Amino acid sequence: YLSQCVDIESLFLSTVLCSAQHSAQPETRQVNGIVGTVFYFPERVLNSGNLLYGDLGSIAHVYPGKQSNTNLEKRYKNHLHWNNVTGVFTLSDLQIYDSGVYTVENTDEGKTKHIFQLTVYYVLSKPQVTVHDDISCSVMCSVENGREVTLSWYKGGEILNQTSSPDHNITLSLPLKLDEQNRDSYRCEAANPVSKETAVVPHSCIESDPSKVTDGDERTRGCLIIAVICVLVASGLVGFAIYLKKRRNGHSHAGISFFTG
Protein backbone atom coordinates (compact mmCIF):
# COMPACT_ATOMS: atom_id res chain seq x y z
CA TYR A 1 0.00 0.00 0.00
CA LEU A 2 2.87 2.36 0.89
CA SER A 3 4.54 1.51 -2.40
CA GLN A 4 1.35 2.38 -4.29
CA CYS A 5 1.14 5.71 -2.50
CA VAL A 6 4.74 6.51 -3.42
CA ASP A 7 4.03 5.63 -7.06
CA ILE A 8 0.94 7.84 -7.10
CA GLU A 9 2.86 10.70 -5.49
CA SER A 10 5.67 10.35 -8.04
CA LEU A 11 3.17 10.33 -10.89
CA PHE A 12 1.49 13.43 -9.47
CA LEU A 13 4.81 15.27 -9.12
CA SER A 14 5.81 14.30 -12.65
CA THR A 15 2.51 15.61 -14.00
CA VAL A 16 2.91 18.89 -12.11
CA LEU A 17 6.49 19.32 -13.35
CA CYS A 18 5.50 18.59 -16.96
CA SER A 19 2.63 21.04 -16.74
CA ALA A 20 4.92 23.69 -15.28
CA GLN A 21 7.49 23.12 -18.00
CA HIS A 22 4.80 23.29 -20.67
CA SER A 23 3.36 26.52 -19.25
CA ALA A 24 6.87 27.96 -19.05
CA GLN A 25 7.31 27.61 -22.83
CA PRO A 26 7.42 31.10 -24.37
CA GLU A 27 4.48 32.12 -26.51
CA THR A 28 5.15 32.27 -30.25
CA ARG A 29 4.58 35.77 -31.58
CA GLN A 30 3.33 36.27 -35.14
CA VAL A 31 5.31 38.92 -37.00
CA ASN A 32 5.25 40.07 -40.64
CA GLY A 33 7.93 41.28 -43.01
CA ILE A 34 8.01 42.81 -46.50
CA VAL A 35 10.21 41.58 -49.35
CA GLY A 36 13.23 43.84 -49.86
CA THR A 37 13.02 45.59 -46.48
CA VAL A 38 14.78 45.12 -43.12
CA PHE A 39 13.22 43.19 -40.25
CA TYR A 40 14.22 44.02 -36.65
CA PHE A 41 13.69 41.30 -34.07
CA PRO A 42 11.95 43.05 -31.15
CA GLU A 43 14.10 41.45 -28.41
CA ARG A 44 17.70 42.34 -27.50
CA VAL A 45 20.84 40.37 -26.73
CA LEU A 46 23.37 42.79 -25.24
CA ASN A 47 26.23 40.52 -24.13
CA SER A 48 25.66 36.87 -24.94
CA GLY A 49 23.04 34.76 -26.66
CA ASN A 50 21.89 33.21 -29.92
CA LEU A 51 19.50 33.59 -32.80
CA LEU A 52 18.07 30.22 -33.82
CA TYR A 53 16.12 29.36 -36.97
CA GLY A 54 13.86 26.32 -37.29
CA ASP A 55 15.75 23.04 -37.54
CA LEU A 56 19.04 24.77 -38.39
CA GLY A 57 19.64 25.69 -34.77
CA SER A 58 21.87 28.68 -34.01
CA ILE A 59 22.51 30.91 -37.02
CA ALA A 60 24.17 33.69 -34.99
CA HIS A 61 26.03 33.51 -31.68
CA VAL A 62 26.92 36.51 -29.57
CA TYR A 63 30.02 36.21 -27.40
CA PRO A 64 30.69 38.67 -24.57
CA GLY A 65 32.75 41.54 -25.96
CA LYS A 66 32.78 40.22 -29.54
CA GLN A 67 30.81 40.65 -32.73
CA SER A 68 28.26 37.98 -33.64
CA ASN A 69 29.14 35.09 -35.87
CA THR A 70 26.67 35.23 -38.79
CA ASN A 71 28.53 32.86 -41.14
CA LEU A 72 27.19 29.61 -39.72
CA GLU A 73 24.88 29.28 -42.74
CA LYS A 74 25.93 30.47 -46.18
CA ARG A 75 22.55 31.96 -47.01
CA TYR A 76 22.84 34.40 -44.06
CA LYS A 77 26.18 35.91 -45.09
CA ASN A 78 25.76 39.70 -45.36
CA HIS A 79 22.08 39.12 -44.68
CA LEU A 80 21.93 38.71 -40.89
CA HIS A 81 23.38 41.33 -38.55
CA TRP A 82 23.68 42.05 -34.84
CA ASN A 83 24.09 45.57 -33.48
CA ASN A 84 26.49 45.55 -30.52
CA VAL A 85 25.08 48.87 -29.29
CA THR A 86 21.36 48.16 -29.40
CA GLY A 87 21.67 44.37 -29.08
CA VAL A 88 19.15 43.87 -31.90
CA PHE A 89 19.33 41.18 -34.61
CA THR A 90 18.25 42.27 -38.09
CA LEU A 91 17.57 40.53 -41.39
CA SER A 92 18.24 42.78 -44.38
CA ASP A 93 16.81 42.49 -47.90
CA LEU A 94 14.06 40.13 -46.78
CA GLN A 95 12.97 37.36 -49.14
CA ILE A 96 10.02 34.97 -49.10
CA TYR A 97 12.29 32.10 -48.03
CA ASP A 98 13.20 33.98 -44.82
CA SER A 99 9.78 33.05 -43.44
CA GLY A 100 9.92 30.64 -40.52
CA VAL A 101 10.31 30.27 -36.76
CA TYR A 102 13.11 32.26 -35.11
CA THR A 103 14.17 32.12 -31.45
CA VAL A 104 16.07 34.95 -29.77
CA GLU A 105 17.92 33.27 -26.90
CA ASN A 106 19.30 35.67 -24.31
CA THR A 107 21.92 34.38 -21.85
CA ASP A 108 22.94 37.78 -20.42
CA GLU A 109 21.36 37.00 -17.06
CA GLY A 110 20.04 33.49 -16.76
CA LYS A 111 18.41 32.25 -19.96
CA THR A 112 15.30 33.58 -21.69
CA LYS A 113 13.77 32.68 -25.02
CA HIS A 114 11.53 34.68 -27.34
CA ILE A 115 9.98 32.85 -30.30
CA PHE A 116 8.80 34.60 -33.48
CA GLN A 117 6.89 33.18 -36.43
CA LEU A 118 8.05 35.45 -39.26
CA THR A 119 5.99 35.54 -42.47
CA VAL A 120 7.35 37.55 -45.40
CA TYR A 121 5.01 39.02 -48.04
CA TYR A 122 5.27 40.91 -51.31
CA VAL A 123 3.81 44.40 -51.57
CA LEU A 124 0.83 44.05 -53.88
CA SER A 125 0.63 45.60 -57.32
CA LYS A 126 -2.42 47.68 -58.24
CA PRO A 127 -5.29 45.56 -59.58
CA GLN A 128 -6.45 46.15 -63.16
CA VAL A 129 -10.11 46.61 -64.11
CA THR A 130 -11.05 45.96 -67.73
CA VAL A 131 -14.44 46.47 -69.38
CA HIS A 132 -15.91 43.49 -71.26
CA ASP A 133 -19.15 45.15 -72.33
CA ASP A 134 -19.69 48.92 -72.33
CA ILE A 135 -23.47 48.72 -72.60
CA SER A 136 -24.12 46.28 -69.76
CA CYS A 137 -20.89 47.35 -68.01
CA SER A 138 -19.56 43.88 -67.33
CA VAL A 139 -16.05 44.26 -65.86
CA MET A 140 -13.17 42.04 -64.78
CA CYS A 141 -10.69 42.83 -61.98
CA SER A 142 -7.30 41.06 -61.98
CA VAL A 143 -4.14 41.06 -59.87
CA GLU A 144 -1.01 38.93 -59.58
CA ASN A 145 -1.52 36.34 -56.85
CA GLY A 146 0.75 35.77 -53.85
CA ARG A 147 0.77 34.67 -50.22
CA GLU A 148 -2.62 35.28 -48.55
CA VAL A 149 -3.86 37.59 -51.31
CA THR A 150 -7.59 38.28 -51.55
CA LEU A 151 -9.36 40.08 -54.39
CA SER A 152 -12.70 41.71 -53.60
CA TRP A 153 -15.41 43.83 -55.21
CA TYR A 154 -17.03 46.53 -53.05
CA LYS A 155 -20.00 48.79 -53.59
CA GLY A 156 -19.58 51.62 -51.15
CA GLY A 157 -18.70 49.90 -47.88
CA GLU A 158 -20.41 46.61 -48.77
CA ILE A 159 -18.38 43.64 -50.01
CA LEU A 160 -20.07 41.98 -53.00
CA ASN A 161 -17.78 39.01 -53.72
CA GLN A 162 -14.26 37.84 -53.05
CA THR A 163 -11.74 35.29 -54.30
CA SER A 164 -8.35 33.81 -53.37
CA SER A 165 -6.20 30.85 -54.40
CA PRO A 166 -3.39 28.79 -52.82
CA ASP A 167 -1.65 28.73 -56.23
CA HIS A 168 0.73 31.69 -56.05
CA ASN A 169 1.74 31.40 -59.71
CA ILE A 170 -1.58 32.45 -61.21
CA THR A 171 -3.41 35.72 -61.77
CA LEU A 172 -6.48 36.22 -59.60
CA SER A 173 -9.52 37.41 -61.55
CA LEU A 174 -12.97 38.43 -60.36
CA PRO A 175 -15.82 39.38 -62.76
CA LEU A 176 -18.73 41.67 -61.93
CA LYS A 177 -21.79 43.03 -63.73
CA LEU A 178 -22.57 46.49 -62.44
CA ASP A 179 -26.03 47.87 -61.73
CA GLU A 180 -27.33 50.60 -64.03
CA GLN A 181 -27.21 53.20 -61.28
CA ASN A 182 -24.28 54.46 -59.20
CA ARG A 183 -21.67 52.63 -61.24
CA ASP A 184 -18.99 54.97 -59.95
CA SER A 185 -19.51 53.66 -56.38
CA TYR A 186 -17.82 50.33 -57.18
CA ARG A 187 -14.19 49.52 -56.41
CA CYS A 188 -11.94 46.48 -56.64
CA GLU A 189 -9.52 45.84 -53.77
CA ALA A 190 -6.49 43.53 -53.57
CA ALA A 191 -5.15 42.92 -50.06
CA ASN A 192 -2.68 40.86 -48.02
CA PRO A 193 -1.53 41.30 -44.39
CA VAL A 194 1.04 44.02 -45.28
CA SER A 195 -0.51 45.99 -48.16
CA LYS A 196 -3.73 47.00 -49.88
CA GLU A 197 -4.37 48.39 -53.38
CA THR A 198 -7.62 49.65 -54.94
CA ALA A 199 -8.84 50.20 -58.50
CA VAL A 200 -12.06 51.85 -59.72
CA VAL A 201 -14.32 51.19 -62.70
CA PRO A 202 -13.01 52.82 -65.93
CA HIS A 203 -14.80 55.97 -67.10
CA SER A 204 -15.70 54.33 -70.41
CA CYS A 205 -18.06 52.07 -68.52
CA ILE A 206 -19.43 54.76 -66.21
CA GLU A 207 -20.12 57.19 -69.07
CA SER A 208 -21.92 54.54 -71.09
CA ASP A 209 -24.64 54.41 -68.45
CA PRO A 210 -27.82 56.11 -69.81
CA SER A 211 -28.62 57.31 -66.29
CA LYS A 212 -25.41 59.37 -66.33
CA VAL A 213 -26.60 61.63 -69.22
CA THR A 214 -26.66 65.25 -68.07
CA ASP A 215 -29.21 67.99 -68.82
CA GLY A 216 -26.69 69.59 -71.15
CA ASP A 217 -26.40 66.36 -73.09
CA GLU A 218 -30.18 66.16 -73.36
CA ARG A 219 -30.38 69.74 -74.66
CA THR A 220 -27.64 69.08 -77.19
CA ARG A 221 -29.38 65.93 -78.38
CA GLY A 222 -32.70 67.82 -78.71
CA CYS A 223 -31.07 70.59 -80.73
CA LEU A 224 -29.49 68.08 -83.08
CA ILE A 225 -32.82 66.35 -83.64
CA ILE A 226 -34.55 69.67 -84.37
CA ALA A 227 -31.74 70.67 -86.74
CA VAL A 228 -32.03 67.38 -88.64
CA ILE A 229 -35.83 67.81 -88.91
CA CYS A 230 -35.41 71.37 -90.17
CA VAL A 231 -32.91 70.24 -92.82
CA LEU A 232 -35.25 67.50 -93.97
CA VAL A 233 -38.22 69.87 -94.12
CA ALA A 234 -36.19 72.51 -95.94
CA SER A 235 -34.91 69.89 -98.40
CA GLY A 236 -38.47 68.74 -98.98
CA LEU A 237 -39.70 72.28 -99.59
CA VAL A 238 -36.86 73.03 -101.99
CA GLY A 239 -37.52 69.79 -103.83
CA PHE A 240 -41.25 70.54 -104.03
CA ALA A 241 -40.56 74.09 -105.31
CA ILE A 242 -38.27 72.73 -108.02
CA TYR A 243 -40.94 70.20 -108.98
CA LEU A 244 -43.60 72.94 -109.28
CA LYS A 245 -41.31 75.14 -111.33
CA LYS A 246 -40.51 72.33 -113.74
CA ARG A 247 -44.19 71.54 -114.02
CA ARG A 248 -45.08 75.15 -114.83
CA ASN A 249 -42.31 75.34 -117.39
CA GLY A 250 -43.63 72.14 -118.95
CA HIS A 251 -47.14 73.58 -119.30
CA SER A 252 -45.76 76.81 -120.82
CA HIS A 253 -43.81 74.94 -123.51
CA ALA A 254 -46.86 72.84 -124.31
CA GLY A 255 -49.05 76.01 -124.82
CA ILE A 256 -46.52 77.62 -127.13
CA SER A 257 -46.22 74.49 -129.25
CA PHE A 258 -50.03 74.23 -129.57
CA PHE A 259 -50.39 77.93 -130.61
CA THR A 260 -47.65 77.64 -133.18
CA GLY A 261 -49.16 74.59 -134.71
SS3 of the chain: the string is: CHHHHHHHHHHHHHHHHHHHHHHHCCCEEEEEEECCCCEEEEEECCCCEEEEEHHHEEEEEECCCCCCECCCCHHHCCCEEECCCCCEEEECCCCHHHCEEEEEEECCCCCEEEEEEEEEECCCCCCEEEEEECCCCEEEEEEECCCCCEEEEEECCEEEEEECCCCCCCEEEEEEECCCCCHHHEEEEEEECCEEEEEECCHHHHHCCHHHCCHHHHHHHHHHHHHHHHHHHHHHHHHHHHHHHHHHHHHHHHHHHHHHC
What local confidence, expressed as pLDDT, does residue 4 receive? 47
What local confidence, expressed as pLDDT, does residue 253 receive? 53
Residue 20 has pLDDT above 60, yes or no: no
Residue 72 has pLDDT above 90, yes or no: no
Share of the chain above pLDDT 70, in %: 71
Residue 11 has pLDDT above 70, yes or no: no
The highest-confidence range among 51-55, 215-219, 252-256, by mean pLDDT, is: 51-55
Banded model confidence at residue 214, pLDDT cuts 50, 70, 90:
very low
Share of the chain above pLDDT 90, in %: 40
Residue 41 has pLDDT above 70, yes or no: yes
Mean pLDDT calculated for residue range 25-31: 87
Banded model confidence at residue 166, pLDDT cuts 50, 70, 90:
very high
Residue 104 has pLDDT above 90, yes or no: yes
For the segment 230-241, what is each residue's pLDDT rounded down to a tens digit?
777 777 777 767
Least confident of 9-13, 21-25, 250-254: 9-13
- Average pLDDT taken over every residue of the chain: 79
Mean pLDDT calculated for residue range 184-208: 85
Least confident of 49-53, 81-85, 112-116, 254-258: 254-258
Banded model confidence at residue 212, pLDDT cuts 50, 70, 90:
very low
Mean pLDDT calculated for residue range 29-42: 95
Q: Is the pTM of this model over 0.85?
A: no
